[in-house]
Structure 1
Amino acid sequence: MIIIILFLMSTFYLLSFFLNKFTTSKLRPPLPPGPTPLPYIGSLISMLRNKPTFRWIHRMMDETNTNILCIRLGNVYVISVSDPNIALEFLKDTDRIFSSRPDSMSAYLTSGGYLNTALAPMGDHWKMMKKIISSEILSVARHKWLLNKRNEEDDNVLRYIYNQCKTNLGVTKGLVNVRIVGQQYSSNMVRKLIFGSRYFGKGRADGGPGEEEIEHADSLSIILVYVYAFCVTDYIPCLRWITDFDGHEKSIRQAILTARKHQDSLIDERIKQWKDGVRTKQDDLLDVFININNPRLNASEIKAQILDLILAAYVNVSNNTEWAMAEMMNNPKIFDKAVHELDLVVGKHRLVHEFDLHHLNYIKACVKEALRLHPVAPFNLPYVTTADSTVAGYLIPKGSHVMVSRIGLSRNPEVWDDPLTFNPDRHMKGDKEVVLTDHNLHTFSFSTGLRGCPGVLLGSTMTTMLLARLVQGFMWELPPNEPHVDLRENLQDLAKAKPLVALAKPRLPQHIYPTLHNA
């Protein structure tokens, strides 16, 4: 059966090729440069032989000396872009053509059938969900409403580290895994904002995650690995009905099932409480979702959107904070400068709070430099073209998948001096406030255009507050026999190859910490 299908596919490809060859005008612009594809399967064999795919794509861009590359995978043109001006053509100048999302097995499953905002294709549902998220969930007014809950989690992460310093000194010698701290902070924060509680279960007495939270976090990590992960069946869709070719579907289905096991029961219970009149006052974002009237969301839409929000918050904050701390610890002058700013603006007799962030330009510059040099993912979520178009003098056929390279933009030597060096001062512009957004796409922090991230305010606040609390609250030293931080990346992604583990010692007056210890 497979041989027959492949024969029919090859025949269809050849007919399409010759028909296109004889009917296309000679004046049609060329495709962007790229490898010569095989009939029908394109460069799929090369893709499978060169894992991880994102490093293969960037290697080809370097070898071809191009900032826009075209690879045909199956019957899909995949366009990779590493130049900010070309990226702006896609995302701002002609964004109505390039703002939809491609159909993908992983995206379909993660979004519950495209019921969320980030992964849904352009259409009425996406417009409705974007409006709800922007005006009801992530608005400035809602951000202020949730301030007390964010304050609780800012205190809790400090309490957790303080407990690690004190109660576990004999066992761990005060060593703290900064990656775990970042993941715990971001997942606790988003749970507190959505569900009103930082734990699915009981958590730990020291403020750390319990079994339920660890299982949930592990499932989120797996989902993020597989969403738009260059799955063969995304490029040859008919194979979806025959086989799980590369095992992606089984892995992501199980991870989604695990994640939603913890979330969905809480959502169903809360919906019932409102329906029965047991709950009458809105206290968190789940209450807001349930009580939106125009239009009213059903349970499936709420569940899909909540998973969307949790995934977005989970990895971005922790990745940025770990890399920022690693780079700063490797350059004590940068770390000391950040400490000096905090001591000058905040002092040592109270904790840094959100109202201080406006004055913490150097802390924000450290966050922005980590976003630039160490983005959370090699590419943004892909866009799909809804019509033939011309960008940078090249033909971009309808149905192409367009991916903007985060590392191509943010490590571009034509944009940045000494691009591989961590230098927060490059973002300091006199008295001008440092902001984490970059609508010129010299860094790809929160994107831009119709698909720009609506969570800029929350994401910026969480990341900056976590770094500020870590730097203000503790002195950080490397473990014995480690002269510097290993800054190597994982082969499979852009995460730090080894989690940052460091010795933390309280640096503020002792009376500040017990209030957190007993919280």
Structure 2
Amino acid sequence: MLSFSTLLVFITFALCYLFNLQWQRNAQKPKQASLPPGPKPWPIVGNLPEFIINKKKTSVSHWIHSFMKEMNTEIACIRLGNVHVIPVTCTEISLQFLRKQDASFSSRPLTMATDVLSKGHLTTIFSPLGDQWRKMKRVMVSEMLSKERHRWLHKKRVEEADNLVRYVLNQCKNGDEGGLVDLRLVAQHYCCNVTRRLIFNKRYLGEGKADGGPGFEEEEYVDAIFALVIHLYSFCISDYLPFLRGLDLEGHEKIVEDATSVLEKYNNPIIDGRIQQWRDGKKHEPQDVLDVFISLTDDNGTPLLSADEIKAQVSEIMIAAVDNPSNNLEWALAEMLNKPETLQKARDELDYVVGKDRLVQESDFPQLNYIKACAREAFRLHPIAPFSPPHVSVTDTTVGDYFIPKGSHVIVSRVGLGRNPKVWNEPGEFKPERHLQDCNKGEEVVLEEPDLRLFTFGRGRRGCPGVVLGSSMITMMLARLLQGFDWSIPTNQGTIDLCTGRGVPFLAKPLLAVAKPRLLPHVYCFSTESEIQ
């Protein structure tokens, strides 16, 4: 019988042997990639303490960009609660996420704001990966944003382009020295008017104004849209600690719910009334996008979209179509007013391509490369948001030698891409010519940016499907305003202050400029088809 000491020696040798065997096996395994660098997280709450402190001091985006610069990294990891947030500031790594491994990052987070606006994530942009998202994306791509539908809606876009010029012309009549025009108001309401015209076949929700400007209803509607734009992906604490939802510690829930209620107050009666018209047989042929949505049927002949799906999707379209183009126009003109030579080059191009005897049309766009270069440069320097909407990883994966856990929120820095000194020479300067140099001779400048050197409309499975419509709205707005009017900075103002507001991507103050007609009076005579409705 073995003594206790002999047994102890045997067990010790056995454990040493097993330990050595396991060590050898681990040594043979490839080393697992580590998470991207970032601030050291606290237990359970992660980096939420720093997050909260910096959100109150400046903004979350400023904090993220600052510590990434200090750490000299172009990809980072912040843990908020149990969520890994992965900010990226360079083109090469962004392309790995959104091109090479696009399928792995094709979902969206379930947030408080997107849940409220999309009626439980029924829409295209805000829905997580799944059957509902696939259904709504098919509807949007094939029924609203196809080339055929774009041509079908052409007349409605022309009507609003004419109304845009008419409204600014009416402001010029207010004084002999030209009229002072609020270009933020012009841009936001033009984009909203175009989108309402396409969806509802109407621009006004109330009576409007005699000069073509927005009434109270339209102003309330646009204010609600931009309240939602600011809060949709605003790093709300309850999105990372869901048990806090309902307490509304930051006041975000009330803002989102109130703004959503404003949109629904105006949208829902129109939608409900139109659905009833189709049910009663009073409508038979689609005249706008709402009719198209209502008239869609499945293989059994039953309506493809529920009333809630239509209502949620309409609200989403309104937000997606208004924010980016209007912000781009205001920033582009602000930069151009500070650099009169760019204004002159744009006018020279319009005079050469279009002339002064007619207004610019969509058919002219392929030849308006300098106009589009100005819009691209505004996108590069002044994106509508500091980060892209989050892309959620659907599996564990490795990107750029870093481990990205399933469920991570990848956010691409629009600011980081557009102002990256490795990509752009003099990244802080407004130089539209750089985009002309990027094109081969004879090529058309486009606003879409597939290589992610700057962020315009996004890309991949979650890229914006409305690139054609968005590009058309931006180009038309900028071209019509520059062709139809001479613009100048108000007397005694000096230059335009290009500072942004606190925590928002917009100019701190709305852009005000003096407009004077630069074409002969007969060019401003519009057909009765484009009269204000």
Asked if 1:137 is matched to 2:141, the reply is no
Q: State the one-letter code of the partner of 2:203.
A: R
Quote the offset at 1:315 in angstroms.
Answer: 1.2
Aligned residue for 1:439? 450
Task: Indicate if the aligned counterparts of 1:116 and 1:304 stay in contact, CA closer than 8 A.
Answer: yes
Alignment counterpart, residue 167 of structure 2, candidates 154, 160, 169: 160
Task: Indicate if the aligned counterparts of 1:158 and 1:516 stay in contact, CA closer than 8 A.
Answer: no
Quote the offset at 1:515 in angstroms.
Answer: 3.4
State, as a whole percentage, how many aligned pairs show the same letter: 51
What is the SS of the residue equivalent to 1:280? coil
Task: Indicate if the aligned counterparts of 1:156 and 1:516 stay in contact, CA closer than 8 A.
Answer: no
Alignment counterpart, residue 116 of structure 2, candidates 106, 109, 114: 109
CA distance in structure 1 between the partners assigned to 2:225 and 2:526 by the alignment = 32
What is the SS of the residue equivalent to 1:504? strand
CA distance in structure 2 between the partners assigned to 1:395 and 1:281 by the alignment = 53
CA distance in structure 1 between the partners assigned to 2:250 and 2:374 by the alignment = 39
CA distance in structure 1 between the partners assigned to 2:415 and 2:470 by the alignment = 20
CA distance in structure 1 between the partners assigned to 2:510 and 2:192 by the alignment = 18
Task: Indicate if the aligned counterparts of 2:199 and 2:288 stay in contact, CA closer than 8 A.
Answer: yes
Task: Indicate if the aligned counterparts of 2:162 and 2:526 stay in contact, CA closer than 8 A.
Answer: no
- Shifted more, 458-467 versus 248-257: the winner is 248-257
Task: Indicate if the aligned counterparts of 2:123 and 2:312 stay in contact, CA closer than 8 A.
Answer: yes
CA distance in structure 2 between the partners assigned to 1:237 and 1:184 by the alignment = 36
Quote the offset at 1:169 in angstroms.
Answer: 2.3
Aligned residue for 2:403? 395
Aligned residue for 1:265? 269
CA shift digits 1:397-420 (9 cap, x unpaired) = 111111000010111000111111
Asked if 1:169 is matched to 2:169, the reply is no
Aligned residue for 2:82? 75
Aligned residue for 1:44? 48
CA distance in structure 2 between the partners assigned to 1:183 and 1:262 by the alignment = 17
Alignment counterpart, residue 99 of structure 1, candidates 96, 103, 106: 106
1:206-217 aligned at under 5 Å gives the runs: 206-217=211-222
Alignment counterpart, residue 219 of structure 1, candidates 216, 224, 234: 224
Structure 1: segments with no counterpart, 5+ residues: 1-22
Quote the offset at 1:513 in angstroms.
Answer: 2.1
1:248-259 aligned at under 5 Å gives the runs: 248-259=252-263
Q: State the one-letter code of the partner of 1:36.
A: K
After superposition, the CA RMSD in angstroms is 1.7
Alignment counterpart, residue 235 of structure 2, candidates 224, 230, 238: 230
Q: State the one-letter code of the partner of 1:99.
A: S
Which has the greater radius of gyration? 2
CA distance in structure 1 between the partners assigned to 2:40 and 2:430 by the alignment = 38
Aligned residue for 2:346? 338
CA distance in structure 1 between the partners assigned to 2:269 and 2:172 by the alignment = 36
Quote the offset at 1:222 in angstroms.
Answer: 0.9
Q: State the one-letter code of the partner of 2:61.
A: F
Q: State the one-letter code of the partner of 2:112.
A: M
Task: Indicate if the aligned counterparts of 1:159 and 1:516 stay in contact, CA closer than 8 A.
Answer: no
What is the SS of the residue equivalent to 1:180? helix
- Alignment size in residue pairs: 494
CA distance in structure 1 between the partners assigned to 2:387 and 2:467 by the alignment = 18
What is the SS of the residue equivalent to 2:76? strand
Aligned residue for 1:367? 375
CA distance in structure 1 between the partners assigned to 2:360 and 2:367 by the alignment = 11
Aligned residue for 1:14? none
TM-score (structure 1 length as normaliser) = 0.93
TM-score (structure 2 length as normaliser) = 0.90
1:314-463 aligned at under 5 Å gives the runs: 314-428=322-436, 429=439, 430-463=441-474
Q: State the one-letter code of the partner of 1:483.
A: G
CA distance in structure 2 between the partners assigned to 1:441 and 1:120 by the alignment = 23
Quote the offset at 1:328 in angstroms.
Answer: 1.0
Task: Indicate if the aligned counterparts of 1:372 and 1:411 stay in contact, CA closer than 8 A.
Answer: yes
Task: Indicate if the aligned counterparts of 2:178 and 2:516 stay in contact, CA closer than 8 A.
Answer: no
What is the SS of the residue equivalent to 2:245? helix
Aligned residue for 2:198? 193
What is the SS of the residue equivalent to 1:49? helix
What is the SS of the residue equivalent to 2:211? coil
Aligned residue for 1:240? 245
CA distance in structure 2 between the partners assigned to 1:102 and 1:320 by the alignment = 27
Aligned residue for 1:19? none
Aligned residue for 1:181? 186
CA distance in structure 2 between the partners assigned to 1:68 and 1:478 by the alignment = 41
Q: State the one-letter code of the partner of 2:255.
A: S
CA distance in structure 2 between the partners assigned to 1:138 and 1:335 by the alignment = 32
CA shift digits 1:416-467 (9 cap, x unpaired) = 1111111111111232110111111001111111111100000000000000
Quote the offset at 1:239 in angstroms.
Answer: 2.1
Q: State the one-letter code of the partner of 1:302.
A: I
Task: Indicate if the aligned counterparts of 2:105 and 2:393 stay in contact, CA closer than 8 A.
Answer: yes
